[in-house]
Amino acid sequence: MEMIVGCTPSSHEDAARFAQRWFLVDAQDRFCSHAHQQKLLGVQIDISHGNLVLRAPGMLRLDIPMDVIEDDDSVCREVVVGEHTVKVVDEGDLPAVWFGNVIGAPCRLVKVHPDESVPKFE
């Protein structure tokens, strides 16, 4: 299953539970994963000890905790996916820099807030 929109699907047994929960937004907080599809396909994802484990050519491995404390309002924001506004949790500066290097453009990795349903990524 594709846990991060645009990245290579994971075959991990828990992947379906987290399908399309993460995606990239640009500097204007708009969904941008499809614009970088070719580069994102090089990102390999696995799950280990409650972390997303990300690998990409030329990049160091990146581990991201899957269960973020969503009651911290400082990491919550609203972004635009198509014509819809979606509440998300920002995964922080390290994943932003990591993915920015992968795609060659500024971006943020965000996770759909647990109170939201997964949007349609078109």
Ranges of each domain in the chain: 15-112
Taking alpha carbons only, the member of 13, 14, 20, 9 closest to residue 45 is 9
pLDDT the model gives residue 75: 87
pLDDT the model gives residue 98: 98
φ, ψ dihedrals at 8, nearest 5°? -60, 130
* Mean pLDDT value of segment 6-11: 93
Distance CA 95, CA 84 (A): 24
- Residue 102 scores a pLDDT above 80: yes
The pTM of the full predicted model, rounded to 2 decimals, is 0.94
E strand or H helix at 52: strand 51-55
Q: DSSP per residue over 53-89, as a string?
A: EEE-TTS--EEEESS--TT-GGGEEEEEETTEEEEEE
Please name the amino acid found at residue 61: R
Q: Give the mean pLDDT of the chain.
A: 92
- DSSP annotation of 43 reads -
